[in-house]
Amino acid sequence: MLDGMSRVTVARKVRRFADGAFHQVPDVVAGEEPLEIRAGGRTLTVTMRTPGHDIELAHGWLHGEGVIAGVGDVRGASYCAGSDSDSLNTYNVLDVSLTDPAGADVGAALDRAVRTGVTTSACGVCGSASIEALRNRTRYPLVPGLPAVDPAVIAGLPAALAERQRGFRRTGGTHAAGLADSDGRLTVVREDVGRHNAVDKVIGAALLAGGLPATDQLLVTSSRASFELVQKAVMAGIGVLVAVSAPSSLACEVADDAGLTLIGFTRHAGFNVYTGPERVVGALESPGTQP
């Protein structure tokens, strides 16, 4: 299996303007290459990602699309040999072998995955159709009030995630996602140029470790909270999504309908609770007066 770490970052020479003059200096940028995910030779999606943890990414994506429920639904995954014009392995085409590819539910899920995934893994249908689709596909109803998290723990999560973002410190060009327990300890962190890919890698890692549903975990992301991130959290049974940036309107609607606690603009000084305040200690108390 390829160790994608050799392509996580790429060295380049740049012309930097500073102090009134240009200088040629070395720089490092985040690696970005396409990953085609197939099942039984059938292309399901092509996503632009940072190479590395591709098996986790594929498992996370397949789970988020409702194709698999657990690690037992996958027989194996391998890179396709001879995938470029010179018959060399690019390690950018991953073929997943499903345990029961002929199953009726699997076939329907694969058809849905092809329709929504061939353009980008960040795509979804809109509005009420998105909410209804998620209701029908969710395997793990969220547990009300679980986990219960102290506000100080939530406020500290962005800094804890940033400490583990080695790729971002080198390039400034990657997102990060992580799973944390209710005490704020990060159990797994992954980075990628795509925020949805980083989340897929994290959920894929949990799935491969037998950790789904992750009802006692919080999903933390360095990005904004969009519909697809809420969808992935709900599908994994995660009750709390903590984002450093803003949520979208559809993310709020879907989170509210699913019973997910959605938190945004998370900083050391505070954060906003958009939905599901019952999981945040003290959030349901009578609000004070804004100074």
User: What is the rounded distance in angstroms from the CA atom of residue 11 to the CA atom of residue 116?
Assistant: 34
Could you tell me where the DSSP H helices lie in the chain? 54-64, 104-117, 127-137, 151-163, 166-171, 195-208, 227-235, 249-258
Task: Please name the residues in contact with 35: beta carbons below 8 A apart, sequence gap of 6 or more.
Answer: 46, 47, 48, 49, 51, 54, 57, 58, 92, 93, 94
Residue 131, pLDDT score: 78
pTM above 0.75, yes or no: yes
**24 — pLDDT class (breaks 50, 70, 90):** confident
What does each C-alpha distance from 235 to 64, 145, 199 come to in angstroms? Answer: 6, 17, 12
pLDDT digits (tens, 9 = 90+) for 212-225: 999 999 999 999 99
pLDDT digits (tens, 9 = 90+) for 28-66: 889 989 999 999 778 999 999 999 999 999 999 999 999
**Catalytically annotated residues:** 123
Across the chain, mean pLDDT equals 88
CA nearest to 254, candidates 272, 236, 276: 276
In the chain, the domains with their CATH numbers are: 33-137 (3.10.20.10), 151-279 (3.40.140.10)
